[in-house]
Amino acid sequence: MLSTSYVGRSLPTTPPVTVTAESVTRFAEALGLADTGLVPPTYLISLTLPAADRLIDDPDFGLDWSRVLHREQRFAYHRELRAGAEVTCTVTVESIKTVAGNDLLALRTEVNDAEGLAAEVWTTLFVGAAEEQSAGGPA
């Protein structure tokens, strides 16, 4: 089970990352989209998911990545991002809900550029219970 003491906690802001034309093109091609030079709406997942790596690496949090399923993703752009923008990401653990021994982890990531808040990304992950816990045995 995940440590609920992390709810409301924000991870340290990531170092600035430059959105490159090459990374935008590769992302668009991977989705089968034409390269229009615009950042695809879901591109930010390539920045926000790695920003949460500290949770994966934190043994006190209790996240077993092998038991994770991606459940939901939502994006809110406050302005368009373009290649060349330098952005940082700040991940906040919004909630952890336990349902039938499984955890639902909700994260919100703020994506900031030189002008301030550019976008917000919400991610919900399903974290399956350990086998002995889901089988009714001790965790």
Q: Residue 35 maps to which CATH number?
A: 3.10.129.10
* Total number of domains in the chain: 1
In this model, does residue 131 exceed pLDDT 80?
no
Between CA 1 and CA 17 the distance in angstroms is 32
pLDDT digit string, tens, across residues 38-74: 889 899 999 999 999 999 889 999 999 999 999 999 9
Residue 20 lies in a domain: yes
Strand partners, 103: 98, 127
Residue 107 lies in a domain: yes
Region 104-131 average pLDDT: 96
Q: Where is pLDDT greater, at 44 or 36?
A: 44
Q: How high does pLDDT run on average in the chain?
A: 92
Q: Tell me the residue type at 86.
A: E
Domain that holds residue 100: 4-134
Residue 139 lies in a domain: no
What is the reported pTM? Answer: 0.88
Contacts of residue 85, defined as CB under 8 A and 6 or more positions apart, other chains included, come to 18, 19, 113, 114, 118
DSSP H/E element including 47: helix 45-51
In this model, does residue 35 exceed pLDDT 90?
no
Residue 139: predicted pLDDT: 52
Cα dihedral: 64, 69, 74, 77 (round 10): 50
